[in-house]
Amino acid sequence: MKTTNQLNKYLSVAMAILMAPTFISCSDDDEQPQKKMEYITDSKKVEMLNSIKDLDGTGRLYEINYNVDYKLDQVLAAQRTSSSDLFQYVAYLLYDKLPEKKAKVSFGAGCSAFAVPEEGGSNFLMGRNYDFRHSTSDGKSYLPTSAILVHTAPAGGKKSISMVDGLNLYYGQGFYTNPNVDLSLLMGLPYAALDGINEDGFAIGILALKENQTKQNTGKPKIGPTVAIRMLLDRASTVKQAVEMLRQYDMDMEDNGTSNYHYFMADATGDYAIVEYTNAPGETIPSVMEVFTANDTLRCVTNFYVSPTMVGTKDGWGSDHGKDRYDTMRKTLSENNYALKEDDAMRLLNSVSQLPTEELTSQTQWSSLYNLTERSLRLCILREYAKECNFKVK
């Protein structure tokens, strides 16, 4: 029989356990409840969509291991370039039951990006802020964010991790815990990536430009901006390979938000490039692919063209769209002899991050610091630089 002193001792231990603080990890493996997915019945797809994790417990940052076939070859062959047509085709291809209405999607990306060797080390880094303000219907405020980290490992392709803005698919903060939200559209996550890195250390991000939208028409297969990101993450090991892959397609950015876009990319060899689609002489619709690299002044980019052919356009060289952010990055990189420690690279992302304003490409939704050598990501959302989540391509 236990003595009174023994019972008091056991009670004290039990109370200490109950009152101990709880720490939430960025790789929380708690089992999640079943969710609504009206158009998905396949057991593997259902299991995958039910595996989504709320990483910080606030409904602002999620993680999913996308482990079913998203049929990239068929998507490429279909040549659906507008965001609405693309996701209608994704529904046809990946849903188990077809919806009566088109999927509702949107697209946009402001952003800043840079590539730099690690100071005193052998690694190469790429930093990228994703800036975009999702306004409320009255335009007076903004919608709370929902970022999604997506792991992919396609058969015959390269493993990668990539970032998706959930609000582009109309999944807002806390969508995961809302029993009325249908998760079916998450089947399209691989085709909504805005930046990412693959197992070979190739990384890419997309940035907005205020200009007519690119439409190439040379007779090559057509490709849209986010399908291109998916293709390159799945299939390119280096910047040079990525550039050559893009040259095999006619880029069509029409009906993908209201902006035109350029790409920033870097790889584990230390190579980097800005890829832009610019106007041919006398034309106003961008159709000429240009690549800028191999010069330290091209290690950073924001929301205006670096191409000299676009001087005098809305976002040509000399535009104020992102110029202050560009100047800060350019000055910081130059003063540090174009090499930064990882912590300093994250501080640079902080220094060019944006609070939400009336500007569409304001509000930093997330900051991604990719270590291209280690195939890793340090991620901060909503300018909360005291909090980080860390990921690796596995």
Report whether 365 contacts 382 (CB < 8 A). yes
Report whether 383 contacts 350 (CB < 8 A). yes
Q: What is the pLDDT of residue 182?
A: 94
Q: What is the pLDDT of residue 384?
A: 96
Task: Assign residue 363 a region (left: φ > 0; alpha: ψ between -120 and 50; beta: otherwise).
Answer: left
Alpha-carbon gap, residue 349 to 342, rounded angstroms: 11
Q: What is the pLDDT of residue 177?
A: 86
- Cα four-point dihedral sign 70, 72, 77, 81: positive
Grouping H, G, I as helix, E, B as strand and the rest as coil, residue 176 is: helix
pTM summary value: 0.90
Alpha-carbon gap, residue 288 to 293, rounded angstroms: 16
Residue numbers in the chain where pLDDT is lower than 70: 1-34, 358, 360
| Pairing assessment for the beta strands 61-66 and 147-152 based on DSSP bridges | parallel
The pLDDT tens digits of the residues spanning 317-341 come to 888 889 999 999 999 999 999 999 9
**Which H or E run includes 87?**
helix 83-94
Alpha-carbon gap, residue 3 to 1, rounded angstroms: 7
Lookup: tokens for 88: 């209608």
Instruction: Please tell me the class of the 44-392 domain.
Output: alpha beta
